[in-house]
Amino acid sequence: MNFQSKANKYVCPNDRQLSLRSKLRTGWSAARSEPPLTQNEREAIAAVVKRAEKVDEVEARRVGRLVSRLEGMRRSASGPAPRSCLLCGETSKLLAPLRTCSMCQNTACPKCVIDTPPHRSPIYSRDQYMCNLCAETREMWKKSGAWFFKSLPKYILPDRRATGRYNDTELAKSLQDAGNSSNEGKTDSEPGSPLSIHPPIFSRQPSNTDSRKSISSAKDHDWTETDILSHGVSGLSLHRTDSLNQRPLGLKRTGSKGSAYSLRSIRKEVPKPITQVERPPTIPDSGFGTLEIKLAYDNGTSSLAVTVLRARGLIGMDMTGLSDPFCRLEVIPREGTYSNRLRTKTVHKTKNPEFNETVHFFGITESDLSTKSLEILVFDDDKYGCDEMGSATVALRECLKSPAQLRLALSGASGTEPTGPRLLLALCYSTKRRALVVTMCRAAELPAQDSNGYSDPFVKLHLDPDPYHKKHKTSIKWRNLNPVWNEEFLFETRPTELSRQNLTVTVWDKDYGKPNDFLGSLVLGASSKGRRLKHWMDCIKFPDHRHEQWHSLTDTQHL
């Protein structure tokens, strides 16, 4: 059994690993010498991984079709209203009385409901109906495999706007929804608005999106051509399974930017048109955008000057589809424990930032140039922590070549699953109880705050803004860094409200006689970014389903 994959093999394994090892009778030594994989073996495995990605893509497209079908149904539904059908708007007739859906408690006409087989428990002896919308949602949950993975797997939407990379399209889609809902939210507050009883998910597409789309695709066009390139990024690793197959997709990303938020980005960028200087070639973009840098080495001071010029086509992270990118640069492998990390300033609200900033690495010898490389990570600057948006590695010997201006293709964030202190929580909007159900499942690798090497963690959570001012707390798990709570909390709210609210989760260490120690926090909601935003949007888009996801905790304490 391999336990080294999880931890540094030179660090003493924890008790659990040791006890498992003893059961396996494979000995205590973690550092066993096994022959590394040969070149042929690597290639064989890479070929299988590539084949698997084709299957995954077919699957992602199929799930995308299911999702868009459901979205279409939602959009064309007339919305819940008293005494009329949820789906077709038909009013109650004597011969065809309206049925109540047992899932969402809305009324629908007999044409728009299906009979569900009578429930086994005696309480539900009368007939059960389910509206077509709930039935379809349920069917999708089954067909996509979400029932097993506890949240929707990655998908590619079938329409022409959505040929970008998985997350991008998902985000674009959810952003579009969010855009709709926030518009809707405004009309909601107007007195006497006929729309005020409709939750946002039922809103129809605004008719002017087409004109926006045409602007944006024209705008994006000059992009795609310059997006083809060719320069060394870090080698292909076996564990990163997503990037191989996405090249053809990445090239077709013309439309993925064009949706509800494109108008805004255009307005911002029109004053300074992108002037295309001659671009050195690099390898094809894998959908995470590109980065242009300039390298210059000075023999006299043995310093390396790295000028980060600009990035193009970064992925959108926040609600508006924009990001707040900055770059972190490091020369690897680093020497000793001293880390020489430099960062650029943050450029706010853009996917195409102009950094134009030079950073200097000192103490780089000429021999280093041939052995070391520069790693550049692009992060999204966020009040509640940083999310990685992409990375690129370039060998330092590149700076010796004459045009030291390079265009690098960024590859995706290294780990999709967060590491470090993290929290597993499930969100579910229950239309029946009209409340957001938050299940605090577990936490892992929490920092130790007490002198015994443990913490006594508990979680506080509240919704903001919340008219009921509800605050919840979990129980305290004594002396535990990987606590399991599985506790469920309810926040009464409406789906319309939900797209404007944030769920704030803070983890604390219980102490007697002195203030509790702060262990970490997490904000999920409309103003959060990346994974967290997607989790929140999935929860709004697919009510009555549990969406379970790990999130890393940040150590910033906010109110």
Partner 1 sequence: MAKTYDYLFKLLLIGDSGVGKTSILFRFSEDAFNISFISTIGIDFKIRTIDLDGKKVKLQIWDTAGQERFRTITTAYYRGSMGIMLVYDVTNEKSFENIKNWIRNIEENASADVEKMILGNKCDLDAKRQVSKEQGEKLAIEYQIKFVETSAKDSLNVEYAFYTLARDIKAKMEKKQEASNPPGNRSGVHTLNDTDRKRQPTSWLARCSVL
Contacts of 147 (CB under 8 A, 6+ apart): 141
Among 251, 188, 222, residue whose Cα is nearest residue 409: 251
Q: List the interface residues with partner 1, window 432-461 (CB under 8 A).
A: 432-435, 437
Candidate residues 148, 338, 468, 512; the one interacting with partner 1 per rule CB under 8 A: 148
Q: What angle do CA 175, 381, 223 make, to 5 degrees?
A: 60
Asked if 369 and 400 touch (Cβ cutoff 8 Å), the reply is yes
**Looking at beta carbons only, is 167 or 203 nearer to partner 1?**
167
**Looking at beta carbons only, is 450 or 492 nearer to partner 1?**
492
Q: Give me the least distance between CB of 45 and partner 1, in Å please.
A: 4
Candidate residues 68, 346, 430, 516; the one interacting with partner 1 per rule CB under 8 A: 430
Q: Is 5 in the site for partner 1 (CB under 8 A)?
A: yes
Candidate residues 9, 111, 142, 401; the one interacting with partner 1 per rule CB under 8 A: 142
Q: What tokens were used for 263? A: 């108008």
Sheet holding 547-552, edge to edge: 484-492, 435-444, 422-430, 547-552
Backbone conformation region of residue 390, classed left if phi is above 0, alpha if psi is from -120 to 50, else beta: left
Q: Which stretch binds partner 1 (CB under 8 A): 54-62, 212-220, 262-270, 495-503?
A: 54-62
- Can you spell out the DSSP letters for 14-48? PHHHHHHHHHHTS-S-S----PPPPHHHHHHHHHH
Q: List the interface residues with partner 1, window 62-81 (CB under 8 A).
A: 62, 65
Binding mask 102-141 for partner 1 (x = CB under 8 A): xx------------x-------------x-------x--x
Phi and psi for 353 in degrees, rounded to 5? Answer: -75, 145
**Looking at beta carbons only, is 23 or 186 nearer to partner 1?**
23
Q: Is 419 in the site for partner 1 (CB under 8 A)?
A: no
CA dihedral 455, 441, 433, 66 (to 10 degrees): 150
Q: Is 492 in the site for partner 1 (CB under 8 A)?
A: yes
Q: Give me the least distance between CB of 43 and partner 1, in Å please.
A: 9
Asked if 315 and 289 touch (Cβ cutoff 8 Å), the reply is yes
Candidate residues 331, 424, 428, 459; the one interacting with partner 1 per rule CB under 8 A: 428
Q: Residue 106 in 3-state DSSP?
A: coil
- The sign of the torsion formed by the CA atoms of 529, 531, 537, 543 equals negative
- Tell me 448's DSSP state: P
Q: Residue 365 in 3-state DSSP?
A: coil
Q: Is 7 in the site for partner 1 (CB under 8 A)?
A: no
Candidate residues 7, 52, 400, 484; the one interacting with partner 1 per rule CB under 8 A: 52
List interacting residues with partner 1 (CB under 8 A). Answer: 1-2, 4-5, 20, 23-24, 34-35, 37, 40-41, 44-45, 48, 51-52, 55, 59, 61-62, 65, 82, 102-103, 116, 130, 138, 141-143, 145, 147-148, 238-239, 428, 430, 432-435, 437, 472, 487-490, 492, 544-546
